[in-house]
Structure 1
């Protein structure tokens, strides 16, 4: 079994292991195709945690030294040339044994290279000067046109004149809720919903009410009953890859919800932040069924890069002035520099290529989750960034999330997704894209072992 020989003891352990790998590949001690020890094997040999080994292998993969194959292991990759002095990230101040499975975001492998190229292109653009100053109300037409091109993947008839730029999807939610409702209005959402909606509604003095769901998402009959009881101003809904339950609403249900919205004069905020995860546009957005009373919301933060804080609202003409005014009141303008970068990625086709990369990565991680947690009731989609784990008795959501955190894995308790804290929940959301595949495998295996604990409360 390969065991690293450290050279620079001043660095964190995971970097010392990655350096040792690089040196041993360079001096011939390791050859292309050699299988490396498993996380557990090497962790036991070095008296460190498997998470540390996972970080080391992930760092080695970023340097192009190794490649991981699901179900087979980690192997030395064929090298054109390897230099122990090649550029690499510097050491971090400290290490953490916590594997974070709490944040839904794209995997960061290779995104730095894509972004570096896009930034270089932006810096060399002859139009750079126009994005370094204030912009007129609503932003540059070219940025709206790029946003329309992005939205046309799902709403083919989208016109750029009906696009409003925002500083990301969360800002888009704030703009839409503020513009289309007033203090003390009732806003409806799914009975499990994205926590950002909960915080926004509470901070703006709106009354949030959850509508019952099943495995296909929000139930139309429950929506009709809620409309009769509350006379709401808005419905905020995630119809595709719902967060956290992963449900996808079938066409008939989308049509029914649109009809109910017309019946009760209800406006819809169609949060389609995860629509890109479907390989083909098999599902029309909710906004396609009620375009006259829907604001369609999307962004690039989940599909391309979290730091790319540009979102797009597509709205009916009668709402555009209110939405634009709220953008101006809240942030004055989304960064035109950021908007230009987003536009370049969209117009060049690089955003589409990054989507394909993320879909493929998500599919591999979903397969891993099914292999490790398949004996439990999990809700997933083939290309989703997360799973929803329904806990077996006698677990509760908070109980299991706390135990997982105490054992080095961070997941999100189902209680965080309740718009109304009326009952206990028995589920947790597990995001799959943040760690390396090796770290993910270790973390999911750890969660499976905790689920098998015979007396949960004894371990809490």
Structure 2
């Protein structure tokens, strides 16, 4: 196995490895087409993290030294030695942090296709007749053209959506802030899943709302538990992720959605339908939860999960009676979402590019879910075929906090189930594992192998 000599280099380790590759290829020590060690093998040999080796391989690929083949590994490119320079590129990318941990904690889409589009879209926008409008103030709720573009995106889920009922926000998190702030009061009771998105927890506490989790099963919130809670206390709002729920990936059936909507009618509370992952549903006939009780539901989505995290544009779809309160809260919180970003989002939607991106994201997520099933055999997993993440139920004697701490020490970052608990009323054994974060498939393969090895250990103390 090729192992580089690094003692002659006074620079970051990943650059030293890349330089050693260039030197050994140029000298003929490494031959064109030769297979290189895996991330894990080389990391163990050099006593560095797999992230450091991954970064070195990426730098070497950028220099034209290597090529990766999905499922087969990394190879020396068939390039004549005379064309290869052992010197590093002057403008080498800076280190992103000293830990070099493989981060499986942030839910985000694969961005290669969208990044390429964005470069050309920015140039086109700068030269377009709409550019001047994007640099000025926008009216309450957003420019009508931008709201119409949002309605076009919403019509994939809500076929009758009209632009007049669309409110533009600065991303989905801002949409949650706007809806909770505008439609509930201090000390109001807000319900959510017993394991929910941490952003809801932080918002509820910062806005001084009482937050209560409702018991869940494999389809999400259990209607009987919701009704029982409503009989004891009267909630003002239910915040719910009905499709590919974060963190458990639970997806409500048609019947479950209808039952939840009926309870909202019975006990007279609002539904905030956070459908940010709705486009990932395996059952494409599912209708949003909001469509079962449209007069008491606010529907929320965005483009950050289907296109790019940096495209911070969200869309609230509201019954007419609530529109003025929502638009006023947008104005109070940020005055207006960026019209420049809203125009970029509108250009995506006008070109129909979002459909291509959704298809690509679903396909990539499905490939990674299949890889997870292959590498996590015998473990209890909850997942949807096209979801970006999975929920791993740990065997005894693991606790979620202990597992995540030791996983990070092994070079892999995942989130403990305790971070998703609206109430600290018991220990959870689950962890959320995000599959779309590592760019390279070999990085994901290594990270999942590490998690499987850790979870399969009978005694966690051996890793201390």
Give yes or no for TM over 0.5.
Answer: yes
Q: Give TM-score scaled by structure 1 length.
A: 0.91
Instruction: Report the equivalent of 1:124.
Output: 127
Alignment length (residue pairs): 458
Instruction: Report the equivalent of 2:152.
Output: 149
1:81-96 equivalence runs, <5 A: 90-92=93-95, 95-96=98-99
The CA deviation string for residues 322-373 of structure 1, in whole angstroms up to 9 with x for no partner, is 0000000000000101111111122123333222232222222212211111
Contact 1:365/1:432, CA 8 A, preserved across alignment: yes
Find out whether 1:443 has 2:447 as its counterpart.
yes
1:391-410 equivalence runs, <5 A: 391-410=394-413
Contact 1:211/1:222, CA 8 A, preserved across alignment: yes
Q: Aligned equivalents of 1:7 and 1:296: distance in 2?
A: 58
- Offset at 1:25? 8.0
Unmatched 5+ residue regions in structure 1?
none
The farther-off stretch of 151-160 and 92-101 is 92-101
- Offset at 1:423? 0.8
- Offset at 1:58? 4.1
Instruction: Report the equivalent of 1:271.
Output: 274
Q: Aligned equivalents of 2:6 and 2:120: distance in 1?
A: 34
1:30-179 equivalence runs, <5 A: 31=32, 35-59=35-59, 65-70=66-71, 72-75=72-75, 90-92=93-95, 95-179=98-182
Contact 1:15/1:91, CA 8 A, preserved across alignment: no
Find out whether 1:236 has 2:239 as its counterpart.
yes
Q: Aligned equivalents of 2:177 and 2:189: distance in 1?
A: 15
- Offset at 1:314? 0.6
The CA deviation string for residues 87-144 of structure 1, in whole angstroms up to 9 with x for no partner, is 9753337542322111111133344322212211211112100110111211111110
Change (3 A) 1:24 1:122: farther
Unmatched 5+ residue regions in structure 2?
none
Report SS of the residue matched to 1:223: helix
Question: 403, 408, 412: which is aligned to 2:415?
Answer: 412
The farther-off stretch of 395-404 and 330-339 is 395-404
1:212-231 equivalence runs, <5 A: 212-231=215-234
Change (3 A) 1:61 1:152: farther
Q: Aligned equivalents of 2:387 and 2:11: distance in 1?
A: 36
Contact 2:111/2:307, CA 8 A, preserved across alignment: no
Report SS of the residue matched to 2:112: coil
The CA deviation string for residues 233-274 of structure 1, in whole angstroms up to 9 with x for no partner, is 101000000001011111111111111111111210000011
- Offset at 1:441? 1.7
Instruction: Report the equivalent of 2:196.
Output: 193
Q: Give TM-score scaled by structure 2 length.
A: 0.90
- Offset at 1:6? 8.1
Q: Aligned equivalents of 2:202 and 2:397: distance in 1?
A: 29
Q: Aligned equivalents of 2:208 and 2:324: distance in 1?
A: 23
